[in-house]
């Protein structure tokens, strides 16, 4: 493959920590990954973050900086034999070996179990990447041997820097390539924190029109072939459309987007998990049994699998779409969480503290407690505050 045959995202991929854009909470001065590189103490870790936030790039940068051998696999297509070959190579290598496993949550329990001994004895340093919560998707023994780092969506400032680098690279082919602020702002909004999306659209527009304008960006975007990539943007766009269709009580649209995901082989448990969240977040107190239905769909997907569980998904999707909606419990919780973050751990009123010892009772713990008191039991600073407001049908 020639240099210009490579995707723009690969051509501008940083090779050193100094070139890396974003994630300053991890790679800034005196931050954990910076210190690990400086001390050449790289332990197994998992990067959890949205697409295009730099998970793959950061893994490659770490290997480059410390001089370790680097192998990359995607759990979507790799199997036990692929891992076995790398383990064999690592056991014979004079250098330390880093195995980067993208979409680690797509490895099943047996595949993850196979990795465990090599991670435990140091044959491999594992860097896993996932867009899913690793607490749910990575087996406990493996998770306990990895440090989890959370990556954030790239900021507007980060994306502008990445677009600038992309333009510089593209000008090697298209010497007079320009972009105005209107087009750049559109690229940033379209990317939604995903560097790969901004670079892919920038590259497509440059190759089609040799000029980056707002109209050219929109035309290039419309020309994209409809597809479903289980690890790419369509994966997230389609699950988003599915959730928003249920939120709008549009059962037909929800079924259509569900069918697209199922037909493409999307993990049914991934879909069902989103339905469980939706049942509490969007339906909540209007129809509390929705959570029971969603959990049963989730369980069915776990135990039955494809092809039969598509019927359970369809049943659940229609039920959730047609259910009454009430976000009052979710909204109330988020307000309470806001106060927790704002005020920290405010002192709990003495009357509702636990009093297991005589000393605590003497200090007033539990004194004056009434089981069915109507008095506010919030900390003094926020006493009487109301978070939960029952949903009012307009």
The CA–CA distances, whole Å, from 70 to 1, 42, 64, 198, 391 equal: 20, 13, 8, 27, 54
Under DSSP, is residue 180 helix (H, G, I), strand (E, B) or coil? Answer: coil
pLDDT of 21 > 70? The answer is yes
Reported as half-sphere exposure (CB side, CA atoms, 13 A), residue 127 has a value of 25
pLDDT of 4 > 70? The answer is no
The CA–CA distances, whole Å, from 247 to 30, 244, 334 equal: 44, 5, 19
Distance of alpha carbon 363 from alpha carbon 385, whole angstroms? 27
pLDDT at 62: 94
pLDDT confidence of 223, banded at 50, 70, 90? low
Contact 202, 163 (CB under 8 A): yes
Contact 365, 320 (CB under 8 A): no
Q: Report the share of the chain in percent with pLDDT over 70.
A: 94
Q: What is the pLDDT of residues 26-84, one digit of tens each?
A: 999 999 999 999 999 899 999 998 888 899 999 999 999 998 889 999 888 888 888 88
Distance of alpha carbon 125 from alpha carbon 104, whole angstroms? 14
Q: What is the pLDDT of residues 340-373, one digit of tens each?
A: 989 988 998 888 888 777 776 777 777 777 788 8
Q: Report the share of the chain in percent with pLDDT over 90.
A: 44
pLDDT at 132: 84
Please name each of the domains of the chain with its CATH number.
23-150 (3.40.50.300), 156-222 (1.10.8.60), 233-322 (1.20.272.10), 344-382 (no CATH)
Q: What's the token pair of residue 378? A: 């919030």
pLDDT at 392: 65
Q: Which of 3-12, 143-152, 375-384 has the lowest mean pLDDT?
A: 3-12
pLDDT confidence of 1, banded at 50, 70, 90? very low
Contact 164, 177 (CB under 8 A): no
The CA–CA distances, whole Å, from 179 to 8, 168, 187, 191, 223 equal: 16, 11, 10, 16, 20
Contact 335, 387 (CB under 8 A): yes
Q: What's the token pair of residue 56? A: 């793959």
Q: What is the pLDDT of residues 303-345, one digit of tens each?
A: 888 889 999 999 999 999 999 999 999 999 999 999 998 998 8
Q: What's the token pair of residue 12? A: 């501008």
**CB neighbours (10 Å) of residue 280?**
17
Radius of gyration for the alpha carbons in the chain, expressed in angstroms and rounded: 25
Q: What is the pLDDT of residues 83-142, one digit of tens each?
A: 888 888 888 888 898 999 998 988 888 888 888 988 888 889 999 999 888 887 888 899
pLDDT confidence of 225, banded at 50, 70, 90? very low
Rounded to the nearest integer, the mean pLDDT of the chain is 87
Distance of alpha carbon 360 from alpha carbon 354, whole angstroms? 8
Q: 392 in the Ramachandran plot: left (φ > 0), alpha (ψ -120 to 50) or beta?
A: beta
The CA–CA distances, whole Å, from 231 to 13, 103, 106, 190, 301 equal: 19, 8, 10, 18, 20
pLDDT of 295 > 70? The answer is yes
pLDDT of 2 > 60? The answer is no
Ranked by mean pLDDT, the top range of 206-210, 296-300, 387-391 is 296-300
Reported as half-sphere exposure (CB side, CA atoms, 13 A), residue 376 has a value of 10
What 8-state DSSP symbol labels residue 179? Answer: B
């Amino acid at each position: 493959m020639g240099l210009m045959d490579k995707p723009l995202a690969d051509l501008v991929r940083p090779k050193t920590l100094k070139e890396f854009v974003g994630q300053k909470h991890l790679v800034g001065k005196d931050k954990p990954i910076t210190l690990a590189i400086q001390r050449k103490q790289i332990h197994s870790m998992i990067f959890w973050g949205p697409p295009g936030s730099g998970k793959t790039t950061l893994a490659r940068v770490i290997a480059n900086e410390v001089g370790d051998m680097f192998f990359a696999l995607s759990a979507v297509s790799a199997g036990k034999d692929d891992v076995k070959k790398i383990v064999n190579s690592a056991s014979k290598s004079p250098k330390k070996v880093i195995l980067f496993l993208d979409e680690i949550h797509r490895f099943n329990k047996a595949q993850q179990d196979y990795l465990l001994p090599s991670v435990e004895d140091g044959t491999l340093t594992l860097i896993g990447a996932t867009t899913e919560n690793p607490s749910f998707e990575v087996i406990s023994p493996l998770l306990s041997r990895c440090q989890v780092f959370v990556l954030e969506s790239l900021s507007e400032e980060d994306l502008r820097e990445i677009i600038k680098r992309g333009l510089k690279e593209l000008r090697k082919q298209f010497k007079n390539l320009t972009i105005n602020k209107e087009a750049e702002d559109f690229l940033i909004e379209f990317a939604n924190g995903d560097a790969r999306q901004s670079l892919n659209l920038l590259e497509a527009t440059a190759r089609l029109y040799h000029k980056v304008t707002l109209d050219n960006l929109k035309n290039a975007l419309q020309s994209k072939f409809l597809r479903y990539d289980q690890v790419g943007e369509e994966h997230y766009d389609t699950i988003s459309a599915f959730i928003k269709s249920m939120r709008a009580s549009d059962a037909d649209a929800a079924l259509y987007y569900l069918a697209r995901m199922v037909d493409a082989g999307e993990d049914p448990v991934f879909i069902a998990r989103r339905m469980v969240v939706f049942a509490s977040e969007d339906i909540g107190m209007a129809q509390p049994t929705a959570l029971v239905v969603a959990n049963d769909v989730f369980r069915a997907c776990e135990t039955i699998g494809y092809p039969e569980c598509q019927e359970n998904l369809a049943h659940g999707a229609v039920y959730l779409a047609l259910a009454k909606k009430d976000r009052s419990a979710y909204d109330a919780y988020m307000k309470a969480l806001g106060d927790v973050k704002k005020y920290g751990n405010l002192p709990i009123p003495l009357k509702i503290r636990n009093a297991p010892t005589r000393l605590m009772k003497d200090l007033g713990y539990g004194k004056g407690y009434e089981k069915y008191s109507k008095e506010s039991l919030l900390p003094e600073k926020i006493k009487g505050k109301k978070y939960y407001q029952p949903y009012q049908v307009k």
